[in-house]
Amino acid sequence: MLYDHITAIDLQAEHLYDKTVRDLEAKKQITTELKKSDPNLWQNKMNAIEKQAEEFVLRMMILSEK
């Protein structure tokens, strides 16, 4: 029962993280064209987005949990 609850929470966090990364990529216009033309810049921007998404998920799923 506890395992099922933890698994469900983990799945929700993964979905929220993936959606947040996709939304931030679109908002900041990080494209595959950028990845092809300037891989280092693309990687730096993706690292920043992934960190931002991780912090958002932690705030939403853990710190604000009732």
Question: Per the structure block, which two tokens stand in for 17?
Answer: 């993280």
Task: Tally the domains of the chain.
Answer: 1
Read off the pLDDT of each residue in 1-18 and give the average, rounded to a whole number.
94
Given pLDDT bands bounded at 50, 70 and 90, which one contains residue 65? low
pTM score, whole prediction: 0.85
Phi and psi at 4, nearest 5°, equal: -60, -40
Least confident window among 11-15, 41-45, 60-64: 60-64
Beta-strand ranges (E) seen in 7-65 are none
Q: What range defines the domain where residue 11 resides?
A: 2-63
CB 46 within 8 A of CB 34: no
Q: Which residues of 2-25 are buried (b: 16+ CB within 10 A; e: fewer)?
A: eeeeeeeeeeebeeebeebbeebb
